[in-house]
């Protein structure tokens, strides 16, 4: 008896998943039922997450014209600074392609690294700069921070880095030591 009820519930659930319950299911042709079943399987696979080999989480390819970006230097070493200092650097670049360069986003590897970039397209042969500020507060020791630049280039993401050493603030010693 319990198995029969579970089976009936399973059939009702499946019928509801394919839209409208039994009423719509029995009024459809076999080809419509097959098409809906296949569409359901395909759409559930497309939203399956990070399944190895499916590449469903990859960034979509740019649909517009692609160009190229060339940095004067992709890495800046600020040497040594005191903790709490803000280090600033401008990464100069050139559009070496044949289409306008459009930088859609720049993001730092953490909240202590903040980039600003040109919002206007850079024409072929044109130059620009991405300004990066690194706040060393609470970051003693060797630091390497990466900024991801997303643009209409191939690959769509390029990287610039800021690196150096942060001298920590000396902690006061307790009395009697």
**Per residue of the chain (177 residues), what is the pLDDT tens digit?**
666 666 666 676 565 655 554 455 455 555 555 555 544 444 444 444 434 443 333 444 456 789 999 999 999 999 999 999 999 999 999 999 999 999 999 999 999 999 999 999 999 999 999 999 999 999 999 999 999 999 999 999 999 999 999 998 865 555 554
User: What local confidence, expressed as pLDDT, does residue 169 receive?
Assistant: 81
The residues that bridge with 81 in the sheet, in sequence order, are: 166
The DSSP output letter for 158 is E
The DSSP output letter for 16 is H
The DSSP output letter for 153 is B
Q: How far apart are the first and last CA of the chain?
A: 79
Contact criterion met (CB below 8 Å) for 51 and 137: no
User: What local confidence, expressed as pLDDT, does residue 64 receive?
Assistant: 76
Locate CATH 2.60.40.10 in the chain: 69-167
User: What local confidence, expressed as pLDDT, does residue 67 receive?
Assistant: 95
User: Rounded to 5 degrees, what angle do the CA atoms 96, 159, 54 make?
Assistant: 100
Q: How far is CA 23 from the centre of its chain?
A: 44
Its pTM stands at 0.62
User: What local confidence, expressed as pLDDT, does residue 158 receive?
Assistant: 97
CATH number of 69-167: 2.60.40.10
The CA-based dihedral angle spanning residues 19, 20, 22, 27, taken in that order and rounded to the nearest 10 degrees = -90
User: What local confidence, expressed as pLDDT, does residue 25 receive?
Assistant: 47
User: What local confidence, expressed as pLDDT, does residue 118 receive?
Assistant: 97
């Amino acid at each position: 008896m319990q198995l029969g009820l579970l089976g009936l519930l399973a059939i009702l659930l499946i019928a509801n998943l394919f839209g409208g319950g039994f009423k719509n299911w029995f009024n459809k042709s076999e080809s419509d039922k097959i098409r809906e079943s296949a569409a359901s399987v395909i759409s559930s696979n497309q939203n399956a997450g990070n399944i190895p080999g499916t590449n469903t989480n990859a960034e979509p390819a740019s649909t517009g014209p692609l160009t190229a970006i060339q940095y004067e230097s992709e890495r800046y070493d600020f040497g040594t600074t005191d903790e709490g200092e803000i280090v600033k650097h401008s990464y100069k670049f050139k559009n070496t392609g044949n289409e306008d360069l459009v930088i859609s986003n720049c993001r730092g590897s953490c909240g202590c690294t903040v980039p600003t970039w040109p919002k206007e397209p850079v024409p072929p042969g044109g130059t620009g700069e991405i300004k990066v500020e690194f706040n060393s507060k609470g970051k003693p020791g060797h630091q390497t921070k990466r900024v991801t630049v997303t643009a209409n280039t191939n690959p769509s993401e390029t990287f610039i880095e800021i690196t150096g050493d942060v001298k920590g603030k000396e902690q006061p010693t307790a009395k009697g030591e």
